Structure 1
Amino acid sequence: MASFQISNSETQIPAQLLIARITQLHSSISKLDSLRPSKQVNALFSQLVKLCILPCDIDIMDLSKEAQVMRESLMNLCGRAEGFLELEFATLLVSVPQPLNNLNLFPYYGNYVLLANLEHKILLDNGLVHPHKVAFVGSGPMPLTSMIMATHHMKSTNFDNFDIDEKANDVARKIVASDAKLAKRMKFETHDVMKLRERLGEYDCIFLAALVGMKKEEKRKILGHIGKYMKEGSVLLVRSAKGTRAFLYPVVEEHDLLGFELLTIFHPNNEVVNSVVLVRKPTF
């Protein structure tokens, strides 16, 4: 397989070279027998992530049709691989004493800490200081954002975590069950967000994970549904991506957020992959 060593001295990568390298990586990943964690799988996705956080003057909307198809396929492969990685480490954590003290075993734990710190600061800057109740949609088997927020930033907030996968919720529940106090504030429920209605009106803040709604139209429907049922004055934090990072995660743009008041959009330039979009449901 091709090697993609990126030197630290590289500060800018030409768009054509970036697309060529990502296309080669996509080809290698597509040929894998399994996306479950292994030496080869981990190496390929590690190379991909490093490549996709390099500075590059690229607009995803200007990609050729062929590159757009490749990007969509790559995002789906990344999503599946991420699910397998989270499930493997979550299952491992359940088997060790005090799993919440060993979250840093997860390879991307540091990125989640940086992202949670960033999101908490954005929420504070926009007036959400002590939310009573928060929902996280698409929490997965290893709900690091909820756990970091609950233990470091929002120490009295109640968290309801929603995921469509009962197996993911079951493992996440076991991790949190190791801390009786945290377990009282953190619930895990198996639901499709599109089936949740009045329930969405209970929250001061709703987080929407990047991988909930992979296609543009699906994402817009989910955003519209949440906006319809969340309470007036509450905020929705949506994870997005920009530039090279958009090969890993879907992009949410301002025109996808009809009916919301846009509060802020933040695009990171460090190892954090996701952009953060914060909107509020207007009070009429």
Structure 2
Amino acid sequence: MASPQQTTGKTYMPAELLIAHIVKIQASISNLESLRPSKPVNSLFTQLVKLCTLPSSIDVQRLPADVQRMRESLIRQCGQAEGLLELEFSTHLTKLPHPMSHLNLFPYYTNYVKLASMEHQILFESGMMQPKRVAFVGSGPMPLTSIIMATHHMKSTHFINYDVDESANILARQLIAMDDDLEKRMEFKTCDIMDVKEELGSFDCIFLAALVGMSKEEKVGILDHIREYMKGGGILLVRSANGARAFLYPIIEEDDLHGFEVLSIFHPTNDVINSVVLVRKPVY
């Protein structure tokens, strides 16, 4: 088996070695009694993230069928663990006197700050300076992107956060309740985005979280639905993954975006995990 190579100060991981490590970690994750935050859970997912952000030339589309099935299972496990982690931290923060002052306690907070900064820059370069209304689909119990965007980048924007889980929205509302400005500019709606129609036409910009639509078919169905109802000239920002990071999140390809004008595709090489795909609905 090939061994890791050093390139420009970083460890370059050959595909077969990377897959062997990931298969081993996924087997250990599958043997856990629960994916709630704990030392074993945190350790395994930390190892996984470190592996998947190493430089690699892996093309996940060309993986054997058994590895593809393992990857799909792993993405679902990552999504479940991420949801439970957010739930635990949001529950903890809402019990503090000033929750918004302690967001940095969340383990991946700096990652969200970097991702939001990157996304804002991409939006700015596309001409989306200060949108009036933004939707975030799949906001969860810790709507960090919306909070960071509203606080640091889009200081007059109104945010509508959609999630299918009412308990997640209850926690998210409690999280921002002590902040008068955010409380005025943020709404949380419990629904399946496939049931939202005309309202989608009211947004200048829509964010689609990486874990909304876990399978390719489901994701494409959601993209088609959003495109049908969003306004002409509106911007859609879709989070995707590239290379080994696609063991953590689903991939969106240009072929999945028919009917949209692709403005930008950005694949990070630092510790930010999500790729950013920016598209626009043409004005007919």
TM-score normalised over the length of structure 2: 0.97
**Pair 1:25 & 2:25 matched:** yes
User: Could you tell me which amino acid in structure 1 is paired with residue 249 of structure 2?
Assistant: Y
Cα distance per residue 1:67-105 (max 9 Å; x no partner): 000000000000000000000000010011111111000
Q: Could you tell me which residue of structure 2 aligns to residue 87 of structure 1?
A: 87
2:248 corresponds to 1:237:
no
Q: CA 1:115 to 1:195, structure 2 compared with 1: closer, same or farther past 3 Å? A: same
Aligned partners of 2:11 and 2:249: how far apart in 1?
Answer: 22
Asked if the contact 2:6/2:12 (under 8 Å) is kept, the reply is no
The residue identity in structure 2 corresponding to 1:64 is P
| 2-structure distance, mates of 1:87, 1:146 | 17
Where do 1:183-262 residues align within 5 Å? Answer: 183-262=183-262
Aligned-residue RMSD, C-alpha: 1.2
1:281 corresponds in structure 2 to 281
- Per-residue CA deviations over 1:196-248 (Å, capped at 9, x if unaligned) read 00010010000000000010000000000000000010100000000000000
Tell me, in whole angstroms, the C-alpha distance in 1 between the residues paired with 2:6 and 2:33: 30
Partners in 2 of 1:148 and 1:257 — Cα distance?
27
Q: Distance in 2 between matches of 1:147 and 1:130?
A: 15
Task: Give 1:144 deviation, angstroms.
Answer: 0.3
In the alignment of these two chains, the number of paired residues is: 279
- Equivalent residues in 2 for 1:49-198 (5 A)? 49-198=49-198
Paired residue type of 1:171: L
Aligned to 1:46: 46
Aligned mates of 1:103, 1:27 — CA distance in 2: 32
Aligned partners of 2:141 and 2:168 also within 8 Å: yes
Structure 2 residue matching 1:61: 3-state secondary structure = helix
Contact preservation (8 Å) 2:236, 2:279:
yes
Unaligned runs of 5+ in 1: 1-5
Give the CA deviation at 1:11. Answer: 2.3
Distance 1:38 1:241 in 2: 26
Q: In structure 2, what is the equivalent of residue 3 of structure 1? A: none
User: 1:7: how far off?
Assistant: 10
Q: Which residue of the partner structure matches residue 12 of structure 1?
A: 12
Measure how far apart 1:180 and its partner are. 1.6
Structure 1 runs of 4+ aligned residues shifted over 6 Å read: none
Distance 2:10 2:126 in 1: 36
